[in-house]
Amino acid sequence: MRSLLIVFLSLLALPAIAEPISVRADIWCPYNCAAADKKTGYGIEVLKTIFESAGHTVDYQNLNWAESIERTRKNEFVAIIGAAKNDAPDFVFPAEPIGLSSISYATMKDKNISISSVADLQDMKLGVIEAYSYNTSIDNYIAKHSANLKRISFSSGDDALDKNIQDLLAYKLDVICEDTNVLYYRVNKAGIAKKLQISRDPDKLSEIFVAFSPTNPKAKEYAALIDKRIADLRSSGKLKSILQKYGLSDWK
């Protein structure tokens, strides 16, 4: 009897097994890159640093954006990464973002098209990604013309941006829009930056987050952990070190 009691007390003394943090998103370098790459993106490195230090494991895999949102909403996964609040307003967001996003347009340089705002998109075919939120002006433009195949082309899949870039290079699209950091990272890596004219939309910057499933009972706890640990990473210099790997500086 005494030995059974000792075993029982020993089990109580063991730490609780932390829940794996499953994170899904399409490829969106430098925030979150291909899961198989050595450099998985600064956002993923930040996320792993925060949650692994709290005893969790982080399971990051690539999945198209629309499916990532829908399946995480059902709590099949714990979180999505690289989300603006307009992407999934019902999700649980930390107060602290993991970056700031501006949107830029890309056109073929030899077409001599100048795009400085949504007002310049008239009579052009714009390539966007299904279920993405860009910024207020672009989102409103997409909503207004979404049924017009001559104005809006939707791409999907975890390589949706690559598809849009390929269609732009093939002159199937007049213009594409994307987060500025993501666009430059991708076209520089592909060696095609010189072929493109890139200009930034004047709309205000958007905060980018790790967002947690609204049906996960620990979502608020996880969001609070990010808020606490981001400050620690910033003060210790660890955040700066992670960002420098991707040629970036602190968004604050």
**What are the backbone angles phi and psi of residue 78, rounded to the nearest 5°?**
-85, -40
The answer to whether the CB of 164 falls within 8 A of the CB of 89 is: no
- Is the separation of the CB atoms in 99 and 43 below 8 Å? yes
> According to the model, what pLDDT value does residue 131 have?
94
The mean predicted confidence, pLDDT, of the chain is 93
CB atoms within 10 A of CB 73: 17
In the prediction, which pLDDT does 17 show? 60
pLDDT in tens, 138-167: 999 999 999 999 999 999 998 999 999 999
CB atoms within 10 A of CB 159: 16
Dihedral class, residue 82 (left if φ above 0, else alpha if ψ from -120 to 50, else beta): left
